[in-house]
Amino acid sequence: GAVVSQHPSWVICKSGTSVKIECRSLDFQATTMFWYRQFPKQSLMLMATSNEGSKATYEQGVEKDKFLINHASLTLSTLTVTSAHPEDSSFYICSARFGMNYGYTFGSGTRLTVV
């Protein structure tokens, strides 16, 4: 089945630094990937839709200059949290769609802690 690999699984960084999270589709080409964040005991919140070769589409309220998304190839999308602050600490999850009428497959998530 379609597999999405997400790295790292957890990261701790200092305030003011930037962190990059990678999302790879291992056995299929993903023209579209999605980035979510999830706070404790809450549901997943869609941050942005990432299309290969074009700019990402951000959901309302998500700062595009803070959460940089790059989808340079059909198998890789990255999310960079720039100038991280403690309030950016969250669980970040990527997803990719495989085929028009099939489901979406998700990465295992990245737990970011900003200290």
Partner 1 sequence: DAKTTQPPSMDCAEGRAANLPCNHSTISGNEYVYWYRQIHSQGPQYIIHGLKNNETNEMASLIITEDRKSSTLILPHATLRDTAVYYCIVRIQGAQKLVFGQGTRLTINP
Judged by CB, which is closer to partner 1: 59, or 63? 59
Per-residue binder mask for partner 1 (CB under 8 A), 18-57, x = binder: --------------x-x-x------xxxx--x--------
Q: Out of 20, 68, 104, 113, name the contact with partner 1 by CB under 8 A.
A: 104
Cis, peptide link before residue 8, omega less than 30° from 0: yes
Residues 68-97 that bind partner 1 (CB under 8 A): 91, 93, 95, 97
CB of 18 to partner 1, least distance (A): 23
Nearest-Å Rg of the Cα atoms of the chain is 13
| Beta carbon nearer to partner 1, 19 or 94 | 94
Q: Which of 54, 65, 101, 115 binds partner 1 (CB under 8 A)?
A: 101
Residue 30: count of CB within 10 angstroms of its CB: 28
CA distances from 60 to 39, 45, 46, 57 (A): 17, 11, 10, 10
Pairing of strands 90-97, 110-114: antiparallel
CA–CA separation, 67 and 19 (whole Å): 10
Number of residues in contact with partner 1, rule: CB under 8 A?
Answer: 24
User: According to CB under 8 A, which one of 77, 78, 90, 105 is a site residue for partner 1?
Assistant: 105
